[in-house]
């Protein structure tokens, strides 16, 4: 009788009272696979770290350029807003018109069409509280054996209120002094520091020479500091009537008109346009020989210019991002070719195509993230340095940082997807035969 073969019996050798252990739940495969993909990607990138660094240079340059451009233009916009806010929200600026020579426009201010008399006429309009014609030039201040080149502006008494200039010593000249064409002047602190202060003289009441004309100092301006690389205190103000008399000019470069409120500014602009058209004999259908801009319009125009510059710079930076993405795709394709046998081995031991795809996709994503982080740091540093160099206010846009980082990640996914899919579709048998 032949004996049958039975499996060995399992004998319970546990002591009495000891229950059998509970079966442990298997660990989540998703977390294990993600961790394995990241670890494998980091290992592969570190093994070719020089090549990886060169690959992400395009991303670094692109992201850094975007951040630096946005930081610089944001600082420029902040400076423009600060500077124009000094004019207030209820100031109208009238500029001379432009000429047309051979079909080419010479731009606003080319025609000498505005006069002091125009300013006096504008002062009579409803809702107008201050008017000041302005004429500018450069001048050489000479006092004793000291001299200093500065900005010279012929303005009206009302200019102080329009531009909100404060007097540190002395006073602004009176309207009667302006009407009498008296040679009086109000000087900025920088002019004082480089002329009168060097001789230890109180400037009030002192006489100095300016462009071959003698002027008496009646006031010293309170310091306003520097904006955008321009020293606001490096200036001399004289009565516009005196300025025109000494230079022999009859026109001014602009006329500032201040309304009693921001709500009435548009009405003042319309009334000023009608009045000047009548004074300059502009017929219906003809182009005006002057240009009017409110402070709000000036701010909007300046902001549009800054925005256009930002778009241009960001567009150039976007090209660098695309080039960086192409570099990532290229290097990932090379990596797939180099690691064909490795891919075949992984598939042979049970790796799914999705595992292979995720591994290479994670590598591309990590490259982009590393490039994005480095680019953000370099962009912020470059933007701050450029902003300080141009003496703009530092204005960091957090949205642009998040956006640039997100774009870098998207570039990694988009340009890394094709090599990853190509790797996942390799035939494991053909891959194993590859040397």
Q: How far are the Cα atoms of 5, 92, 156, 275 from residue 126, in angstroms, in the given order?
A: 118, 14, 20, 12
User: Are the CB atoms for 199 and 144 separated by under 8 Å?
Assistant: yes
Are the beta carbons of 92 and 261 closer than 8 angstroms? Answer: no
Asked if pLDDT for residue 103 goes beyond 70, the answer is: no
**Residue 169 — pLDDT band, cuts 50, 70, 90?**
very high
Per-residue confidence band for 34, with pLDDT thresholds at 50, 70 and 90: low
pLDDT greater than 70 at residue 30: no
Instruction: Select from 110, 147, 141 the least CA-distant residue to 209.
Output: 141
What is the rounded CA–CA span in Å between residue 412 and residue 390? 34
Structure confidence at residue 36 as a pLDDT band (50, 70, 90): low
The mean pLDDT value of the chain amounts to 82
pLDDT value, residue 229:
66
Q: Which of 138-142, 317-321, 398-402 has the lowest mean pLDDT?
A: 317-321
d(CA 56, CA 72): 24
Task: Name which residue leads in pLDDT, 104 or 385.
Answer: 385
- Looking at per-residue pLDDT, the higher value among 37 and 190 belongs to 190
378 close to 317: Cβ distance less than 8 angstroms? no
Q: What is the mean pLDDT of residues 159-164?
A: 90
Residue 279 has pLDDT above 70, yes or no: yes
pLDDT tier for residue 101 given thresholds of 50, 70 and 90: very low
Which of these ranges, 20-29, 72-81, 176-185, has the smallest mean pLDDT? 20-29
3-state secondary structure of 84: helix
Q: Which residues contact 33 (CB under 8 A, 6 or more apart)?
A: 355, 358
Q: What is the mean pLDDT of residues 39-58?
A: 77
**Cβ proximity of 382 and 68 under 8 Å:** yes
Q: Alpha carbon of 105 to those of 84, 99, 283, 380, 384: distances in Å?
A: 26, 6, 21, 40, 38
- Structure confidence at residue 13 as a pLDDT band (50, 70, 90): very low
Average pLDDT for 34-47: 70
The pLDDT value recorded for residue 35 is 59
**Model pLDDT, residue 87:** 54
Count Cα neighbours of 313 within 13 Å in the Cβ-side half-sphere: 21
Domain range summary for the chain, segments of one domain joined by +: 30-80+302-433, 112-288
Per-residue pLDDT tens over the stretch 184-229: 999 999 999 999 999 899 999 999 999 889 999 999 999 988 765 6
Close Cβ partners of 172 (under 8 Å, ≥ 6 residues apart): 157, 160, 165, 186, 218, 219
CA distances from 299 to 78, 79, 81, 200, 293 (A): 11, 11, 7, 42, 10
**For residue 340, how many C-alpha atoms fall within 13 Å in the half-sphere facing its CB?**
15
Task: Tell me whether strands 184-187 and 146-155 are parallel, antiparallel or unpaired.
Answer: unpaired
At 3, is the pLDDT very low, low, confident or very high (cuts 50, 70, 90)?
very low
Q: For the chain, how big is the Rg over CA atoms in Å?
A: 37
> Using one digit for the tens of pLDDT, what is the confidence trace for 374-402?
989 998 999 888 888 877 778 887 887 88
Tokens of 106: 């010479």
pLDDT digits (tens, 9 = 90+) for 222-260: 998 876 567 889 999 999 999 999 888 889 999 999 999
pLDDT at 102 > cutoff 50: no
pLDDT-derived band at 284, boundaries 50, 70, 90: confident
CB 21 within 8 A of CB 288: no
Residue 261 has what pLDDT? 87
Res. 11: pLDDT tops 50: no
Q: How far is CA 237 from CA 222, 250, 258, in A?
A: 13, 18, 19
pLDDT above 50 for 18:
no
* pTM confidence score: 0.60
Residues 348-374 as b or e (16 or more Cβ within 10 Å = b): eeebeeebbbbbbbbbbbbbbbbbbbb
């Amino acid at each position: 009788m032949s004996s049958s073969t039975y499996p060995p019996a399992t004998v319970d050798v546990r002591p009495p009272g000891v229950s059998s252990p509970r079966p442990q739940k298997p660990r989540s495969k998703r977390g294990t696979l993600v961790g394995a993909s990241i670890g494998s990607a980091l290992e592969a990138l570190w093994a070719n770290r020089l090549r990886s660094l060169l690959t992400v240079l395009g991303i670094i340059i692109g992201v850094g350029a975007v951040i630096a451009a946005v930081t610089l233009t944001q600082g420029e916009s902040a400076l423009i807003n600060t500077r124009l806010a000094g004019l207030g929200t209820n100031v109208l600026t009238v500029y001379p018109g432009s000429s047309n020579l051979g079909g080419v426009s010479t731009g606003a201010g080319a025609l000498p069409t505005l006069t002091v008399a125009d300013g006096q006429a504008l002062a009579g309009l409803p809702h107008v509280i201050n008017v000041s014609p302005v004429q500018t030039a450069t001048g050489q201040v000479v006092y004793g054996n000291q001299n200093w080149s500065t900005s010279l502006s012929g303005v009206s008494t009302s200019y102080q209120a329009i531009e909100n200039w404060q007097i540190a010593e002395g006073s602004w000249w009176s309207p009667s002094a302006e009407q009498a064409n008296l040679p009086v002047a109000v000087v900025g602190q920088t002019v004082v520091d480089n002329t009168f202060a060097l001789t230890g003289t109180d400037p009030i009441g002192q006489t100095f020479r300016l462009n071959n004309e003698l002027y008496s100092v009646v006031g010293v301006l309170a310091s306003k500091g520097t904006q955008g690389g321009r020293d606001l205190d490096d200036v001399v103000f004289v009565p516009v009537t005196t300025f025109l008399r000494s230079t022999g000019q009859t026109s001014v470069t602009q006329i500032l008109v201040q309304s009693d409120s921001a709500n009435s500014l548009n009405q003042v602009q319309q009334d000023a346009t009608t009045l000047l058209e009548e004074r300059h004999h502009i017929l219906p259908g003809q182009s005006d020989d002057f240009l009017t801009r409110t402070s709000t319009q000036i701010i909007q125009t300046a902001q549009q210019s800054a925005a256009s510059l930002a778009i241009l710079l960001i567009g150039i930076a976007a090209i660098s991002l695309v080039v960086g993405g192409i570099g990532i795709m290229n290097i990932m394709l090379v990596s797939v070719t180099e690691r064909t046998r490795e891919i075949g081995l992984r598939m042979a031991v049970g790796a799914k195509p999705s595992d292979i795809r995720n591994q290479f996709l994670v590598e591309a994503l990590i490259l982009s993230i590393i490039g994005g982080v480095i680019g953000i740091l370099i962009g912020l540093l470059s933007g701050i340095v450029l902003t300080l160099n141009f003496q703009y206010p530092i204005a960091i846009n957090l949205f642009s940082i998040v956006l640039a980082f997100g774009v870098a990640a998207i570039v990694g996914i988009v340009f890394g997807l094709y090599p990853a899919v190509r790797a996942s579709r390799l035939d494991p048998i053909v891959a194993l035969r590859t040397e």
